[in-house]
Structure 1
Amino acid sequence: MGGFARIGRLIARAPRLVVVLAVIGTLGLYALATVGVNGEGLFQRVSTGPPLVEGSDSWEVYEAFERTADESIGPPVASYVRGVDPEDPDVAVAIGEAAAEIAALDGVNAVLSPWGLVEGPEFDQHALPSTGELGSGADPAWDPLGEYLDTLVDQDGTGLLVQTIFGDLEGADPLPIHEEVVGLVEDAVDGLRSEYPDANVLSSSNPLVFDDFTVQLEEDLITGEMIALPAALIVMVFVFGGFLAAATPLTGAIASIAGGLAVLYGFSYLLDLDQSAVNVVTVLGIGLSIDYGLLIVSRFREELHRIGGDPREARAEAIEHTLATAGRTVFFSAVVVAASVGGMLLFPVEMMKGFGGAALGVVTTAMIASLTIVPAVAYLLAPRIAGPSLLSRVPCLRRVLAATSNVDREDGAFARLAGWGQRRPWLVVIAATALLLVLASPVMGLALRNSDIEALPVGNERRDYADAFAEGFPDLADPAIIVHVPDPDASVEVWAWLDPGLDSVDGVADVSHAYTIGDEQFVDVTIDADDPQGPEARDTVLALRALDAPFEFHVGGVAATQIDFVDAIREGALLAAGLVVIVAFVLLFLMTGSLLVPAKTLVINSLSLLASLGVVTWIFGEGHLEGTLGFTSTGGVETYVAVIIVAFGFGLAMDYEVFLLSRIKEYVDAGEDNDAAVRKGLQRSGRIITSAATVIVLVFLGFALGDLLMIKEVGVGLAVAVVLDASVVRLFLVPATMTLLGDWNWWAPGPLRRLHRRLSLQH
């Protein structure tokens, strides 16, 4: 039976050793991921930031700011005190005392408030906002400083900003001192509540935002695992008829989580990993591990029943045959899924490369765990797995478990369902296709976005600060568009206001000011639109880029970043999709010996994925079910989330297709006619596909209950993809189309048939 049978024989010789090594390896990998080699674990090595494309216009602007950044200046903190009267002397005293305490902290350059500047130990006049060295919201020509301080009162006159500017923190983590600064401002506001009971403060800084993302990701990961794993166990109890058999696939999932996190940790030294990659790829690892574990354990139970007799005597042969059949299917499926997710490595975007590389590693980890740990545990538990469980003694559960966990029958509900579709295949094909097309229709209005702070849940302080700041201090907000001119001698100010120049472009509301930092020149551009990523903003960016200028210039900002990111995704998608299609087609041919089955599979899977994207667009892009799912729509779907849904969704669809086709092909090779093979193959694999889909949907929905928008979108999107694929596609559309094709399902030209016989991946 080949190499997979040999793996089964090796496991049968030393199952306890395999389990012990697996436990040691799992603990070691988990320690590596959480602690790291130098005390810096995975969550400390991931990052968050704009989805930049190296070499693009927006990347050039970002890099210019990075080059000109003064490394002796730490990230600033801003606190928005609301619900007070800035003209009240008591407010001035309270904020002034807090400012003095903050200014006394090590590393502080100065504290700014409407009442003046308080110098700190690292005071440097040139690092203050009024010089234009920090951010682009303040005009460098503003002098004296008092004119800038006047802008620190909000436009309603009911709030004020307290800005803390830092000097050189000498490599120290800025988060603790930022939290201390925030605490001092909050203490001052607490002292004002007797006079202003509604007074409150919102604070933000880059380190505080990053920490919020990190904490939220960890909480969402724990929430997802705490919901997903127990729910999966309950479903598998009914699949296998007992706790021990049900828990066996989870051993692979637990090992896969540890291995997947360790793989992510390794990739963090090779690629810039986005924080959300940890949760997204962990979800995939859990789902695949349970899928593969279900297939292995179910086939093992089937082999034990086929051999009969004492399970202790039969288990060696059963595990060998299980690995030779289901093990080969798991390996083949993992290769197809790896090709699907690994295609993201071809995108010219570092973020997508990180997702692709990490997902590739996690798929490999899930496969290895399913071919080693799960069979070893199943072998040791063979007598308990094969026999009736304690639950079967419960009267109300006995009949249910007998029906859901039966592995002996080649006829049953799934065979009858296939037979029903085979009697009216055209009706099934037309109805299923129409349903998928209707679900896919919202894709026509799909808007892609790259969210930043709005990805945090409503109620998060940093997100609330961003919303409140934009409303209270519109003149201090960062511009929607920034133009960068690398030539320090270029006449930027003349060009900016001439016709045709920046000020003449449709959609430009104001060219606020030009300024120079080091040898780099910048121009802030305000647009005549409320949405900085909307179509009007993107049109303005494209119009600015089309301008002629006597010198080199680059256009950046959130809309420009979105344009460059989407263009890079489109460019990479063609190459990645081409590779995935070729790999999937070749591997399906090697498995089935057919040219029509791979072609049909690719068409049906593509239609299913479009339907999934349509549902995600309807929910998150159009804002339906906001209250039910607990999110606020940003008016679109995260760009990289759409890519992940397509890549992961295609991989999972191929996963279930392999499960189904492998059993159908077994019956065809055994001499069954096409229609009978389809019915029996669906009966044998339908229970596993449905059970695996139920479990993986619970996994995805468990993570969708988290609060981060992108994780919620991924969880819901992949859950929808799996539901559609395991129901509409596998139970109806595939059997019906295979019935219509009949023996043509297995057609290939003579030379390819001979090639298939030599290279066949069948067991």
Structure 2
Amino acid sequence: MLGAWLVLVVAGMVLGGRVFDRLTTTDSLRPDAESQRADRRVDQLQPEGPVVVAVVGGRDVFDQALVDDITAVTGQLRAMDGVAEVEDLYSAPGGRVGADNRSSLIRVELSRDLTEERQEQIADAVAAALHRIDAPVVLVGGETLAERAFADQAIADAALGESVAIVVLLVVLVLILGGFVAGAIPLVAALATVSVTLLGLFGLTTLTDVSEFTVNVVTLLGIGLAVDYALLVIARFREERDADPEAPVADLVARTTATAGRTVLIAGLAVATAMAGLSAFAEPLLGAMARGGAVAVLLATLAGLTAVPALIAVAHRRIPAAGDSTRVHAFRRTVVAALRGRGAAPGGRASAAAPRGRASSAALPERGAGLLVRLAAFAQGRPGPVALAVAAGLLALSLPFVFGVNLENSDARALPASAEARKVQETVHRDFSGGRADPIVVVVDADPAGAQVRDFLNALNALDGVLRMQPRPDIVAPAAIIDVTPEGETAGKTSRDVVRAIRALDPPFPVLVGGAAAELVDYRDSVAGRFPVALLVILLSTTVLLFVLTGSLVLPLKALLMNALTLLATLGVLVVVFQWGVGDAVFGFESWGAIDVTTPVLLFVFVFGLSMDYEVFLLARIKEESGPGVDSDHAVRAGIEKSGPVVTAAALCIGVVFLGFLLGDLIAVKEIGFAMAVALLLDVTVVRGLLLPALMSLLGEWNWWAPAPLRRLHEHWFVSRPEPSGARIPAARTPARYRALR
């Protein structure tokens, strides 16, 4: 097994790295959206190549030395191969002067027929020439350079985030598991997952586009899940070994795989189906995220089921037992004891050994002393008030998102505040556009001299929220392009209302509405229209998987409710920090007053998937502890007591991974990292620690309810039964599930 993984890892190292040469800037909007069709029609009527923009300021715009310098540079640009047109204040009619009267705008249009590589070369040459202008301020940007800045920053952020996360993870894992070798196993599984994920993404590039943003998210997701699953498997192996120290390692690994492996499989399938829900949306970027995420999740699950058990079989002697007193393990126990406010047991060993023959809590911190256990005991003592208080608190946190979120498409403003492309956009918007919104572009396919078109133009001008209407000159076809400038912000409510009002006019000739506001309207409408399909996919798959695990229909519904509360509360906190800018300096960014429009959709999938991970971890163990004659509250406490340390450790590790997102400079990536860290914190404390046990106490035996036919189906297909006592099976060939039950 390790040999097979080694082959895949080597292939990933050889070929996977080449995926970065094939990454593309993927559109966030599907090609058949009206705004996209409008853009293509504008491109037919008024063809235009990529544009580079420069702002020259800090000197009197009519200073003769400056005039001569700009004229010389623009003359060189006009003679440059690949440059189609150059406009500046001194050589083009209607040249633009900034609001401060000390800055001017230079616009350089590149040829349309350039290859992507050649376009980058020409854009770099143009930028270098413009930077040679002798002025205190020379800023060069534009959409072409901004897109490249996004791509380069995304790759740099991924490299930085992953490098720091891996180093910190190794330290955390060594402290958690009590030894370097034991701590290295989850990290080896994670690195193998990432390497093979890059190989899978390289394969995907031969079939479809893969964006830079996809690589950022799915590689860190693969690291986090691989570590989660490895921790669960290692914890169960230690537990099985403590319960039966004389058993052969092959038997111990088999028992581990039969129990923890089943949990890993169901948890991985839950996250994978969340990725499938993401693919229900029609937008190319979300589709790319779904495909890349599915690859990462499935490979992390495969690593947890194959690579981790194989590594344990090879290195089991170097995995400390729960009571091992090695230096690292003793140090960990001392730190944990200090944090708990009590002394460690003598010699660094557990203060009380687990009874022989019964599985102990082996895995991580001492039994009965973990955070989740203490929270669960508190919640079970007063389930009604706790459930009500937690639900109310999470709903209160969600209010900023429900009533005040501003969703916009990321542009150069989502780059770091120091990025030149962002400075150019902000300067042009402030000093050359008067702070007005970008125009809504209306394309009319009819003779503009006709009476019907004139009536349509009058109707446009009379719409509420329209500040200015201006037809573009020199459109030769029997068509017209009208720029409609709305009041307020480009993506504000007024702009969106004007888009909808124009589309509602329904004139007797073809009309397409495009522009930034129209793109936002189309994206939001598309996501809203597809959201029920995505939700249905996740609901059905989650219900089926949790039913297979527990035999209950109540627990899946409760899990979905808790996940929804976690998601809404997370989005509310996200709005406060990233839209309102509360604490933005702490996290190293400057708020641009909005949340990227794709972020809530991605978080919907990621939060549901990872929350279901921990739900499966806990419910699988609670189910093991329950049975005829076992009190429901006792089963919940015992399940949390044994799986709580694993959940806490897994959440800590994956939180470290997602916090790696905050080290980058792209605000959209920071949003994901911050939100996932908040979601994990809420999920592992108030949701799994308080709300879950409180609701299970309130429901009692109803937790395990299912209609009789479904209950019989579950018992027949998904419940393992021990072999009859008269049947003797050699230990080496006994099915793992029977050995585990015995």
For residues 649 and 150 of structure 2, the distance between their equivalents in structure 1, rounded to whole angstroms, comes to 34
Distance verdict in 2 for CA 1:659–1:393, change over 3 Å: closer
Pairing partner for 2:667 from 706, 709, 730: 709
CA contact (8 A) 2:491 2:517 kept: yes
In the alignment, which residue of structure 1 is the partner of 2:328? 391
Q: Is 1:61 the equivalent of 2:38? A: yes
Q: Report how far residue 681 of structure 1 moved.
A: 0.6
The aligned counterpart of 1:47 is 25
Question: Following TM superposition, by how much is the alpha carbon of 1:290 offset from its aligned partner in structure 2, in angstroms?
Answer: 1.1
* Correspondence for 1:162 among 88, 98, 106: 106
**1:248–1:293 Cα contact (<8 Å) kept:** yes
1:379 aligns with 2:310: no
Q: 1:302 to 1:737 in 2, by over 3 A?
A: same
**1:316-369 CA distance string (max 9 Å, x none):** 111111111111111111111111121011112222222112211211111112
What is residue 335 of structure 1 aligned with on the other side? 269
Q: Give the fraction of aligned pairs with identical amino acids, expressed as a percent.
A: 34
Structure 1 CA distance, aligned partners of 2:450 and 2:263? 63
- In structure 2, do the counterparts of structure 1 residues 593 and 182 end up closer, same or farther at CA, with 3 Å as the change threshold? same
Change (3 A) 1:31 1:211: farther
- Classify 1:252/1:593 alpha carbon distance in 2 versus 1 (closer, same or farther; 3 Å): same
- CA offset digits 1:263-298 (Å, max 9, x no partner): 333334444444312212222212111111111111
Secondary structure in structure 2 of the residue aligned to 1:86: coil
**2:606 aligned partner:** 648
Report deviation, 1:641: 0.5
Change in 2 beyond 3 A, CA 1:519/1:495: closer
More displaced, 688-697 or 464-473? 464-473
SS of 1:79's equivalent in the other structure is strand
Deviation, 1:652, is 0.6
In the alignment, residue 232 of structure 1 is paired with which amino acid?
Answer: L
Aligned to 1:407: 363
TM-score when normalising by structure 2: 0.88
Uncovered stretches (5+) of structure 2, i.e. residues with no partner: 338-347, 352-360, 721-736, 738-742
1:5 counterpart residue number: none
**Letter aligned with residue 147 of structure 1:** P
Counterpart selection for 1:284 from 197, 221, 226? 221
Deviation sequence 1:198-242 (CA, Å, 0-9, x none)? x12111244322221111101111221122222222222232111
Question: What are structure 1's unaligned runs of at least 5 residues?
Answer: 1-17, 36-40, 117-145, 193-198
**Partner Cα separation in structure 1 for residue 232 and residue 499 of structure 2:** 52
User: Which whole-Å CA distance do the structure 2 matches of 1:60 and 1:697 have between them?
Assistant: 41
| Partners of 1:64 and 1:520 within 8 A in 2 | no
- Give the counterpart of 2:55 among 76, 80, 98: 80
Instruction: Tell me the SS of whatever aligns to 1:560.
Output: helix
Provide closer, same or farther for how the CA distance between residues 591 and 761 of structure 1 changes in structure 2, counting only shifts above 3 A: farther
Q: 1-side partners of 2:407 and 2:83: how far apart?
A: 40
Choose which of 423, 432, 436 in structure 1 pairs with 2:390.
432
The answer as to whether partners of 1:391 and 1:397 remain within 8 angstroms in 2 is no
How far apart are 1:448 and its partner, in Å? Answer: 1.9
Q: Give the secondary structure class of the aligned counterpart of 1:343.
A: helix
Give 2:731's aligned residue. none
Matched, 1:675 2:633: yes
Tell me the SS of whatever aligns to 1:628.
Answer: coil
Distance 1:640 1:479, change over 3 A: closer
Amino acid of the residue matched to residue 166 of structure 2? L
* Alpha-carbon separation, structure 1, partners of 2:334 and 2:170: 16
Distance 1:506 1:168 in 2: 37
Correspondence 1:70-109 to 2 at 5 A: 70=47, 74-109=49-84
C-alpha distance in 1 between matches for 2:450 and 2:29: 25
Change (3 A) 1:394 1:492: same
Contact 2:499–2:518 (CA<8 Å) still a contact in 1? yes
d(CA) in 1 for partners of 2:84, 2:211? 31
Which string of whole-angstrom CA distances, capped at 9 and with x for unpartnered residues, describes residues 137-160 of structure 1?
xxxxxxxxx423xx2333432122
1:43–1:275 Cα contact (<8 Å) kept: no
Q: Residues 510 and 285 from structure 1, CA distance in 2 versus in 1: closer, same or farther, beyond 3 angstroms?
A: same
Q: Name the CA shift for 1:80/1:530 in 2 (closer, same or farther; >3 Å).
A: same
Distance 1:403 1:183, change over 3 A: farther
Q: Secondary structure at the match of 1:501?
A: helix
Deviates more, 1:650-659 or 1:382-391: 382-391
Matched residue, 1:12: none
2:670 equivalent to 1:684:
no
Residue equivalent to 2:726:
none
TM-score by length of 1: 0.86
8 Å contact kept, 1:110–1:165? yes
**Correspondence for 1:173 among 92, 109, 118:** 118
Matches within 5 A, 1:114-193: 114-116=89-91, 146-148=92-94, 151-167=95-111, 170-171=114-115, 172-189=117-134
Q: Distance in 2 between matches of 1:398 and 1:498?
A: 74
C-alpha distance in 1 between matches for 2:699 and 2:436: 62
3-state SS of paired residue (1:523): strand
Are 2:700 and 1:742 aligned? yes
How is 1:273-312 mapped onto 2 (pairs within 5 angstroms)? 273-309=210-246
2:19 paired with 1:27: no
Matches within 5 A, 1:529-568: 529-568=487-526
2:258 alignment counterpart? 324
Q: CA deviation at 1:532?
A: 0.6
Q: Offset at 1:165? A: 3.4
Equivalent pairs, count: 695
Instruction: Tell me the amino acid that sits aligned with residue 21 of structure 1.
Output: A
- What's the counterpart of residue 260 of structure 1? 197
Task: Give the equivalent residue in structure 2 for 1:359.
Answer: 293
| Structure 1 residue 517 displacement after superposition | 4.8
Task: Name the structure 2 match of 1:143.
Answer: none
Distance 1:223 1:304 in 2: 38
2:183 is the counterpart of 1:246: yes
Q: Per-residue CA shift, 1:426-454, capped at 9, x if unaligned?
A: 23212222221221222222222212221
Equivalent pair of 1:336/1:654 in contact (CA under 8 Å): yes
Aligned to 1:604: 562
After superposition, the CA RMSD in angstroms is: 2.7
Partner of 2:107, secondary structure, is strand
Q: Quick check: 593-602 or 159-168, which moved more? A: 159-168
| Equivalent AA in structure 1 for residue 7 of structure 2 | I
Deviations 1:703-726 (A, max 9, x none): 122111111111111111111111
